[in-house]
Amino acid sequence: MAYKFEIFKDKAGEFRVRFRASNGEVMFSSEGYAAKASAKNMIESIKKNAPDADVVDESAG
């Protein structure tokens, strides 16, 4: 199984996105969106912009 984005509807009827690793583990999930198109736009934004994203360590210590 490869990495994948999954669009699903939550109990409140909002569209959310999960990102699953190749072992099936959920690596992250999104906020809720009223429109499926907004969830799809979020996926495209991550695909386009994530390679250049900074990593900021805000942990103490």
Kindly give, in sequence order, each residue whose CB lies less than 8 Å from that of residue 8, ignoring residues fewer than 6 positions away: 15, 16, 17, 18
**Residue with more model confidence, 30 or 60:** 30
Nearest to 4 by CA among 30, 31, 29, 22: 22
**pTM, entire model:** 0.83
| Domains of the chain and CATH, by start | 4-46 (3.30.160.160)
Over residues 17-49, the pLDDT tens digits come to 999 999 999 999 999 999 999 999 999 999 999
Over residues 9-21, the pLDDT tens digits come to 999 999 999 999 9
pLDDT of residue 51 exceeding 90, the answer is no
